[in-house]
Amino acid sequence: MSGAPGGEWNGWLAALGTLLVLALPPALLAACRGTPPARLAGLSLTGTLGTVILLLAARGFGRDGYGDLGVVLAVLGPVGVLVFTRFLGGPLVDGTAPAPDTKGRG
């Protein structure tokens, strides 16, 4: 990996800074405010941006560990969004509520 081990500023770090300043705050705002579907979209976008930020940091700083974290977040991020969708979701599209899970309850 080519990076900046001596602390030099490069294009990877410029892209990283741009995403941190311009893209992450609106995604976090969308994840914290609005309707539940808008918050879910903000959560998904925040996970994607986090992955890209970690991968850019890995290239910019020349550290493989950040890239590993980015790959793990890329795999687990959509799973987390699906879990929130399933457990925090409201009525289904056709207007009916999901059936309660009663398996294993006495």
Q: What is the pLDDT of residues 6-63, one digit of tens each?
A: 557 899 999 999 999 999 999 999 989 988 888 888 989 999 999 999 999 999 999 9
pTM for this one? Answer: 0.72
CB distance 41 to 29 below 8 Å: no
Return d(Cα 38, Cα 13) in angstroms, integer: 30
Examine the pLDDT at 99 and tell me if it is beyond 70. no
* SS3 labels along 7-40: CCCCHHHHHHHHHHHHHHHHHHHHHHCCCHHHHH
| Nearest CA among 13, 3, 6 for reference residue 56 | 13
CB distance 69 to 11 below 8 Å: no
- Pick 103 or 14 by higher pLDDT: 14
